[in-house]
Amino acid sequence: MKKRRVRGIIKERREKDLKNKKNFLPSLVLIFTLWLILLLFVFNVNPDIKGAVPVFFLLLTFALLFSLSFLLTNTRRGIISTLAIIIYLTLSYFGVGNILNLSLIAGVAIAFEIYFSNTS
């Protein structure tokens, strides 16, 4: 009688663990696909074409977002890091990206992370 109950408990725990395991393969496929599309875009599209730069930044945003969220194992940190990188690259594109702007953006990103980690 006791053995059946113990086996039942073990079986329930095993099923619960299997349900809680995450399948990372779809995420990895999406990440590699986005980086491949971005790479193909960089090498095959002329930057003088109207709309090429916004599409590049959009592709880069999604590639960075999914990659950093996966690497940092936290969506919020991935979003904050991606926004900081994209803002700095946008400023650099317009010619005002310097070390002062980089440090200010990094400081704001760190402040947001500290604020949101304390309130959550």
Q: What is the pTM of this model?
A: 0.80
- CA nearest to 69, candidates 2, 37, 61: 61
Long-range contacts, 67-71 (Cβ 8 Å, 24+)? 67/31, 67/34, 67/35, 70/24, 70/27, 70/28, 70/31
- What's the rounded Cα separation, in Å, for the pair 111 and 75? 17
The answer, yes or no, to whether residue 14 has pLDDT greater than 90, is no
Q: Which pLDDT band holds residue 4 (cuts at 50, 70, 90)?
A: low
What is the Cβ-side half-sphere exposure of residue 84, based on CA atoms within 13 angstroms?
20
Average confidence (pLDDT) over 98-119? 93
At 58, the pLDDT band (50, 70, 90 cuts) reads very high
